[in-house]
Amino acid sequence: MTGSAARRGRPRDAARDRALLDATLAVLGESGYGGLTTAAVAARAGVSTATLYRRWPSKEFLVVDAATAYAQELTASVDTGTLEGDLRALLRDKAASLTGKEGGVLRSLIAEGAHNAPLAEALTNAFVLPVRRRMEEIAQRAVDRGEISPVEHADLLGDLVIGPMMSRFFLTPLPPDEVDAGSAAETADRLLPFLIRAVGGKGSH
């Protein structure tokens, strides 16, 4: 047995890992980053803190992995067959990620990332870059279908999604009835015609 294998011991339990990541997101949503403790996460997941520390050496590593897993579920690319459909799906996904419990988690992480460089880098990799890549893919598919002309500086298109969404849901005071799932989807749909025009499309609006 190698030294590395000896340190690893038994294979990790994927279900337990997932339970700990889910518990991390739940505690983040309730208490924010500052109020999150490994003891609270372990208790929520029904495991000992020793079990948690065998997987993650610190609270920061745990939160980064939880944020990454969470973001992967929100940024899966969808090919609807049209530029308008692809953009609508992306806008609605982002609106959902910035509202409700999901939005609370992201707010906590962004606030902490302002003075935590490793977490800020993780947030960029987990939340910002996937949106930029997805927008580039959407634009390229639209070009291939003949819906739009090639877009110059396509790497900047993702910011046309992130910027307005952050401004609307994080920087603008909104009443509670405007930040639920239904209202978030309506906001995404209102932004859709502007984004379609920005990439050179016509759409049905």
pLDDT for position 7 = 41
Confidence band, pLDDT 50/70/90 cuts, at residue 175: low
Residue 87's alpha-carbon distances to 34, 47, 99, 190, in angstroms, are 35, 41, 19, 12
Q: Which of 43-47, 95-99, 179-183 has the highest mean pLDDT?
A: 43-47
Would you give the DSSP letter of residue 150? P
Determine contact, residues 52/62, Cβ cutoff 8 Å. yes
Answer yes or no: is pLDDT of 5 > 50. no
Q: 180's torsion region: left (phi>0), alpha (psi -120 to 50) or beta?
A: beta
**Tens-place pLDDT, residues 52-78:** 999 999 888 898 888 777 777 666 678
Among the ranges given (5-14, 53-62, 96-105, 191-200), the one the predictor scored with the smallest mean pLDDT: 5-14
More confidently predicted of 170 and 50: 50
pLDDT at residue 34 in the model: 86
SS3 content of the chain, % helix, strand, coil (to 5): 75, 0, 25
The pair of three-digit structure tokens given for residue 135, joined into one six-digit string:
């927008």
CATH for the stretch 11-58: 1.10.10.60
Q: What is the pLDDT of residue 2?
A: 39
Q: Are 83 and 199 in contact (CB under 8 A)?
A: yes
- Pick the residue with more confidence: 105 or 27? 27
Distance (Å, whole) CA 102 – CA 59: 19
Per-residue pLDDT, 3: 41
Domain with CATH 1.10.10.60 in the chain: 11-58
CB contact set of 72 (below 8 Å; sequence gap of 6+) = 126, 130
Give me the pLDDT at residue 69, please. 79
CATH 1.10.357.10-classified regions of the chain: 75-198
pLDDT value at position 86?
A: 95
Specify the DSSP class assigned to residue 47: S
Rounded distance between C-alpha atoms, residue 17 and residue 73, angstroms: 16
What CATH number should be reported for the domain whose range is 75-198? 1.10.357.10
